[in-house]
Homo-oligomer: A and B are copies of this chain.
Amino acid sequence: VVLTNGDVDHVAGLLTLRERHAFTLFALAPVHALLAQNPIFGVLDPARVRRVEVAPGARFAAAGLELELFPVPGKAPLYAEEAEPEIGGETGETAGVFVHGAGLAYVPGCAALTPPLLDRLHGAPVVLFDGTLYADDEMIRAGLGEKTGRRMGHIPIAGPGGSFAALAPLPGRKIYVHLNNTNPLLIEGSPERLRVEAAGFEVAHDGMEIAL
């Protein structure tokens, strides 16, 4: 198990694996610290689950792959937010995974596409990237929330500074993942979906397999 984030959607599944599953848990220090602050994750029996803290940018082996966790702009999980949370810091609370050899980059949460991050993604044959919201304000417009995507630490796809414009020039496969249920990319044939597909993007789906 490789964690890129300590937020509920990334770590709650550990509770489902509980008690009798043996595995190794790789993450950067801030994510391990969040787990350590929550005694409920003590159901992961230390005799069966080894928690391995990896350093940012260091390569490690898991499941026959050579992996690397690299910090990307993000924020603390919702449950660990300060009153005025810092958004966009590269503290390791949000990370991407790079699969060396295959050159696959998995970045399910990302607050901003900085030039160094774009450079890195440019060299990857396969990029899976944060597609939480299509429009930064779509949850507000739908009456489902008070926050923009940026406030939640997710760069939107469309609009100025969005991921569509920044990632469209990438030469490899570009696959949006981590889509919120308000995202019109989930609707096959929607204008937004047709637009990103016309620019060479794919939208991840349940059961999707990627041959490395």
A143: min CB distance to chain B, Å? 11
Q: Which residue of chain B is the closest to A12 with respect to CB atoms?
A: B15
CA distance A49 to B77 in the complex (A): 19
Contact residues of A between 76 and 115, Cβ < 8 Å to B: 77-80
Q: Are B43 and A8 in contact (CB under 8 A)?
A: yes
Contact residues of A between 30 and 56, Cβ < 8 Å to B: 34, 37-43
Give the total of A residues in contact with B, Cβ under 8 Å. Answer: 22
CA distance A80 to B12 in the complex (A): 18
Q: Are B19 and A78 in contact (CB under 8 A)?
A: yes
The DSSP consensus for interface residues of chain A is helix
Given contacts A8-B15, A15-B8, contact A79 B40 (CB under 8 A): yes
CA distance A187 to B44 in the complex (A): 30
Contact of A145 among B12, B20, B40, B145 (CB under 8 A): B20
Binary B-proximity of A128-168 (CB < 8 A = 1, otherwise 0):
00000000000000001100000000000000000000000
CA distance A39 to B34 in the complex (A): 9
CA distance A79 to B36 in the complex (A): 12
CA distance A80 to B40 in the complex (A): 8
Q: Are B80 and A42 in contact (CB under 8 A)?
A: yes
Q: Are B79 and A43 in contact (CB under 8 A)?
A: yes
A→B interface (CB under 8 Å): 8, 11-12, 15-16, 18-20, 34, 37-43, 77-80, 144-145
